Amino acid sequence: MKTLAQLATLTGGKVKGDGELSISGFCSLEHPRPGHISYMEKLKDASSLSDTNIAALITTESLAGHFTNVLIHPNPRLAFISVMEEFIGPQAEAQGFIHPRAVVEEGAEVHPTARISACAVISPGVRIGARTFIGAGVYVGKDAVLGEDCFIHANVSIYSRSQLGNRVEIHAGTTIGSAGFGYLPTSEGHRRFPQVGDVIIEDDVDIGANCCIDRAALDSTVIHSGTKIDNLVQIAHGVSIGTNTVIAAQTGISGGTSIGKWCVIGGQAGFQGHITVGDQSIVAAQSGVFNSLEYKSKVSGYPAKPHGQSLKVLALTFKLPQLVEKVKSMEIDLDLLSGELKSLRKRGAGPVATGEATPEGMAGLAEKVRGIEMDLELIRSELHSLRSDNGDPPTEGSA
């Protein structure tokens, strides 16, 4: 239980209303609870709230006047995170415990304040820092290093010689340091290129569930400090991820690629190997990145293009069915007119001139045919441009 004034001190905010009001926990705006606190960034988000179904709100100065008990803060969401952490407390139980069913092999160094759960395997030469938590079924390979205050959830595999900094959190099922996908084609098949490098994960990195981060072939795969990685992400051998980059689920990054600092990568994005993505770039979900990107690039689509260009191509793509139908209709008209023109020319060149195929009439018809041909050429050119912008290969005989 905390008072509103205590939470204001914790977050660096100020109180409007009853500072001695008791707060028993936190809740969402969608499901308010008596005695609890939530946060609000827009007034429309709080249409169903009242002083009877929620104790207090964290919000900005400009919105504070609408409610009785308020913790005023310039960044309500940030303040709410601090409140949540205060109520949640430490993730792990009391430290300094090795479960009887854990296997800590000879030569491993486990700090006295670390906690090792049941069925974990700690190999020779491993070093585990202070207050680090190792969940059930975790495997830590030979000579791996884990820093202080790490939290390794159940069934994570950390291969030999992997290096983790301080405050690293890895969720269930993730594998760190498995062999990179490196093979040399020969006449006898694919020969494995030995993957003898390692993985370095710096301080304050979060890695979601069921991710795979491969060790480098010769050097290091590096995840720099502050990076946050969602579930189901594949990071290949020799990749470097810059500080404070965020990567959404199901992204795949091929070997040797370097991602800059403070980048934002949407879900299911794919990256060609051995390219560079500049700092502060934004890659939209499902983008296919085949070439290096400059500083502060913003791309989307497959293949990835500047976001504005992708939106234009998408808008024009919706017009393609109408354009194709228009071309077909004009081609039918052109065939009919061409046939009529040939017939008139043939009759005009015969031994008996009937006067029906006059030079003026034939010239007018020919001009009409040329006009349709020019219209068709313009439409074909537009279709070709659309295909080129969209990255589609030209097709033989296509418009």
Instruction: Give the domain extent around 355.
Output: 319-389
Given a cut of 60, whether residue 358 has pLDDT beyond it is no
Given a cut of 90, whether residue 160 has pLDDT beyond it is yes
Q: Which two tokens stand for residue 167?
A: 């405050």
**From 9-23, 162-176, 195-209, 338-352, the region with the lowest mean pLDDT:** 338-352
In tens, the pLDDT along 248-273 reads 999 999 999 999 999 999 999 999 99
In tens, the pLDDT along 139-157 reads 999 999 999 999 999 999 9
User: Can you give the pLDDT at residue 366?
Assistant: 67
User: Can you give the pLDDT at residue 170?
Assistant: 99
Establish if 383 belongs to a structural domain: yes
Indicate whether 272 and 359 sit together in one domain.
no
- How far apart CA 106 and CA 111 sit, in angstroms, is 14
User: Can you give the pLDDT at residue 351?
Assistant: 45
Given a contact cutoff of 8 angstroms between Cβ atoms, the answer to whether 266 and 285 are in contact is: yes
- Point out the domain boundary residue: 277, 311, 345: 311
Establish if 399 belongs to a structural domain: no
Between residues 158 and 353, the one the model is more confident about: 158
Establish if 242 belongs to a structural domain: yes
User: Can you give the pLDDT at residue 48?
Assistant: 61
User: Can you give the pLDDT at residue 397?
Assistant: 43
Q: Which CATH number is 293's domain given? A: 2.160.10.10
- Point out the domain boundary residue: 311, 332, 355: 311
Given a cut of 70, whether residue 246 has pLDDT beyond it is yes
Establish if 72 belongs to a structural domain: yes
Given a contact cutoff of 8 angstroms between Cβ atoms, the answer to whether 157 and 123 are in contact is: no
Average pLDDT of the segment spanning 237-258: 98
User: Can you give the pLDDT at residue 16?
Assistant: 96
Indicate whether 166 and 247 sit together in one domain.
yes
Indicate whether 136 and 211 sit together in one domain.
yes
Given a cut of 50, whether residue 350 has pLDDT beyond it is no
Catalytic residue numbers read 237
Q: Which CATH number is 70's domain given? A: 3.40.1390.10
Indicate whether 206 and 278 sit together in one domain.
yes
Indicate whether 107 and 83 sit together in one domain.
no
User: Can you give the pLDDT at residue 140?
Assistant: 99
User: Can you give the pLDDT at residue 382?
Assistant: 66
User: Can you give the pLDDT at residue 215?
Assistant: 98
Establish if 395 belongs to a structural domain: no
The secondary structure element, H or E, covering residue 307 is helix 307-317
Q: Which amino acid is at 224?
A: H
Q: Is the dihedral of CA 59, 61, 65, 68 positive or negative?
A: positive
Q: Which two tokens stand for residue 232?
A: 């189901």
- Residue that has been written with the tokens 């498995």 in this structure: 178
Given a cut of 90, whether residue 89 has pLDDT beyond it is no
Establish if 222 belongs to a structural domain: yes
User: Can you give the pLDDT at residue 389?
Assistant: 61
Name the pTM for this structure.
0.80
Average pLDDT over the chain reads: 89
What is the DSSP secondary structure assignment for residue 289, as one 8-state letter? E
Given a cut of 60, whether residue 349 has pLDDT beyond it is no
Establish if 398 belongs to a structural domain: no
Q: Which two tokens stand for residue 317?
A: 């793509």
Contacts 24+ apart (CB under 8 A), 135-142: 135/172, 141/177
Indicate whether 291 and 161 sit together in one domain.
yes
In tens, the pLDDT along 281-294 reads 999 999 999 999 99
- Point out the domain boundary residue: 42, 71, 88: 88
User: Can you give the pLDDT at residue 343?
Assistant: 72
User: Can you give the pLDDT at residue 353?
Assistant: 43
Q: Categorize the per-residue pLDDT at 223 as very low, low, confident or very high, splitting at 50, 70 and 90.
A: very high
User: Can you give the pLDDT at residue 264?
Assistant: 99
For the chain, what percent of residues have pLDDT higher than 70?
Answer: 85
In tens, the pLDDT along 29-69 reads 888 899 999 999 988 766 666 656 889 999 999 999 888 99
Q: How many domains does the chain have?
A: 3
Q: Angle 281-228-221 (CA atoms, 0-180°, nearest 5)?
A: 85
Given a cut of 60, whether residue 300 has pLDDT beyond it is yes
User: Can you give the pLDDT at residue 359?
Assistant: 59
Residue 71 pairs in a beta bridge with 15, 58
Given a cut of 90, whether residue 116 has pLDDT beyond it is yes
